[in-house]
Amino acid sequence: MGKVTPFLMFQDGKAEEAMNYYTSLIEDSQITRITRYGANEPGEEGTVMQAVFTLKGQEFMCIDSNINHQFSFTPSFSIYVTCDTEEELDNLYQKLNEGGQALMPLDDYGTASIR
């Protein structure tokens, strides 16, 4: 298994604003990568398809969701896990669902493939 990264999802183009705010408050923090939606892509052009930033060395990922949700931001966050194989992913997904509920089933969501 690869690394595990906290993952924040924004709507209404607020991801970059949030990253700038967080990194301005905490020293030794920076935005390390931003990939933006381009013309004719599923998200609004110029918004954050996927970004990585660090706060005192802790890496975070974030996106501007291109899916319309009933919320703009939630104080909870996801954990983005990089698996090496489909089998590893399926096994982890099954174990996490035991006694729980999948809020995002395994699927290809464009920018954040959960599969």
Q: Rounded distance, CA 109 to CA 90, Å? A: 16
Q: Rounded distance, CA 30 to CA 81, Å? A: 22
In the chain, the amino acid numbered 68 is N
91 inside domain: yes
Tell me the three state secondary structure of residue 23: helix
114 inside domain: no
DSSP structural state of residue 45: T
CATH assignment at residue 89: 3.30.720.100
Q: Which domain holds residue 91?
A: 4-97
> Two tokens at 93?
């997904």
49 inside domain: yes
In terms of C-beta distances under 8 Å and separation of at least 24 residues, what long-range contacts does 104-109 make, across chains too?
109/67
Domains: count for the chain: 1
Chain centroid to Cα 75, Å, comes to 14
73 inside domain: yes
66-92 pLDDT, tens per residue?
A: 887 776 666 666 767 778 888 988 888
pTM: 0.70
34 inside domain: yes
> Two tokens at 46?
């110029």
77 inside domain: yes
Per-residue confidence (pLDDT) for residue 111, from 0 to 100: 53
27-47 pLDDT, tens per residue?
A: 889 999 999 999 999 899 999
